[in-house]
Chain A
Amino acid sequence: MTALAVPGVATAPIVPPRPRRRAVRVASWAVAAVVLVAFWGLDLEWDKLVDLPSDLVHYGTLMFSDPDWSMLPEALLQTWRSVSMAWLGALLGVVLSTLLGIPAAEGVGPLWLRLPLRWVFAVIRAVPEVVIAIIILTVTGLTPFTGALALAIGGIGTHAKWTYETVEAAPTGAGEAVRASGGSLLETVRWGLWPVVSPELASLALYRFEINVRTSAILGLIGVGGIGDMLTSYTQYREWATVGVLIIVVIVVTMTIDAVSGAVRRRIMEGAKVRGVDRST
């Protein structure tokens, strides 16, 4: 600070008064009050929190000091099953969301079609995947297929929303040109809209797969198979050496899939660098 020697400034500069932001202050007091009330009302077992660090060390040692690597093949098989559920669920979900989401976009579908579709998406968004799976398992039983279907149908809620938002945000020039030269609605969508939005949609589809990989673990809770199923079972048996292996497998597989899928998504959105073609416009 002392290094700052400005020669011209002899008199003290007039500092403008700090703006008083009353609304922000009121809001922050309100937030603080809500947080305090929630803390106070929640029946947290604080005494358990004291034991938590030692518990973490204790169970951490049980899980990771000597993982039961003989379970690795089974763990990998179940992971592959989860990934399969995620992939098929993403594929089916994305196809359905695209078919339903494009007509739900403003400027594509008529209002009487748009509103009910959006309403359906909002309802699906509200239902947890587990509940969707509970309904579907009366049809297809406790099988991975149920998991894939639940992921597909549960995914429609958010994915169709992203789809119509993408379509609405797309530049309209190409579509207007097709319409001006006499194209029908279908032709406008195919030649004016699809080329503009397909990279973004493809990227979102891969992102859906990444999300599904995580969600498929949740579906294991109700017993549709996969790594989540195995993990809940072995946690209940308190076979910590196996749980350790499973957690390591989940982390490694999820991070690998994220990394690969992320690289492909960047390539889709930014285009190939080597060709020297600017596709960003």
Chain B
Amino acid sequence: MTTVAEAAERPAQAIPPRPRTWPRTARIVAVLAVLTAATATPALGGVEIDLGAIADNWTNGADRIGQMLVPDLSVLPRTWQPLLETLQMAVVGAAISAVLAVPLSLWAARPTNPNAPVRAAVRFVLNVIRAVPDLVYATVLVAMVGVGTLPGVITLVLFDIGIVVKLVSEAIDSADSSYMEAGRAAGGTQTQINRLTALPQTWPALASQVLYSLELNVRISAILGLVGAGGIGRLIDEMRGFYRYDALSTIILEILIVVILIELASNVLRKRLR
């Protein structure tokens, strides 16, 4: 701090005045404070913050965490079948969404689809698909087609398409367009340009997004089982019902290991594909 003071005492160096940012900061803080206050007011339908409950009951939560810290590995044999189902659902969901994502991405990107109204329509539909939480799909689909893996797979497909098409079409939008221009200059039709210039450029992006969605699928299917859409979530729900927290943590560990393995495998594949 002394160095700053010394600097100020030196002959004036025409230091520009410090920009006055506090009115803006104050406005931002005020907006945040009002929003927070509104969301924390039960009278307005917000959340009732009950710190007393934490002070009174924190031991309950600590007990459960304590139980979970000692995983009960005896449940493992029962988990293989649901875990396999989860993995199969994840792969099938990712595969179907990858196939559907190719034409949709080409439709949703500017260089590959010059037709603005169609592009806007496709993007709007995709935004709507993305706006619905995955669990809403699962709940409604289970009610429609019944309990089983089918509603789970459809949920995963819809969820994956939302992510993959958005990211891949953005990749096409920002991709080097000179190849496509060359194709157009050579007199290619839009379909020829898309197939011969846009698609080869898109494969790496598509592959890495699909692998990412595979990883997400494993994570989500932990939850899908809760509504009856198949997979290891069913077992989570069961263990929760029996208050078997030690078994619950075994399942969570298992999911963690699977996710890490998929992550490692997809890193290797991604490097290879490039």
Contacts and interface: CB of A to CB of B under 8 A. Distances in A.
Contacts of A85: 47
Given A131-B248, A145-B49, A251-B128, A126 B91 contact: no
Secondary structure at chain B's binding surface: helix, strand, loop or mixed?
helix
Interface in A127-161: 127-128, 130-131, 134-136, 138-141, 143-145, 147-148
Contact of A221 (B68, B87, B135): B135
Interface string B176-197: 0000000000111000000000
A2 B186 CA distance: 9
Nearest to B4: A181
B36 A91 contact: yes
Contacts of B272: 23-24, 27
Interface string B34-78: 011011100011111110011001101101110010000000000
A144 B40 CA distance: 10
A232 B40 CA distance: 24
Given A45-B148, A126-B252, A145 B131 contact: no
A147 B50 CA distance: 12
Contact of A135 (B64, B91, B135, B154): B64
Q: Which of A42, A48, A232 has the most CB of B within 10 A?
A: A42
Interface stretch (B9-17, B111-119, B167-175, B221-229): B221-229
Interface band, chain B: 35 or more
Contacts of B60: 138-139
A130 B226 contact: yes
Nearest to A243: B140
A138 B146 contact: no
A51 to B, nearest CB: 8
A177 to B, nearest CB: 12
A52 interface: yes
Interface of A: 1-4, 23-24, 27, 34-35, 38-39, 41-45, 48-49, 51-52, 55-56, 59, 77, 80-81, 83-85, 87-88, 91, 122-123, 126-128, 130-131, 134-136, 138-141, 143-145, 147-148, 181-182, 214-215, 217-218, 221, 228, 231-232, 235-236, 238, 243, 247, 250-251, 254-255, 258
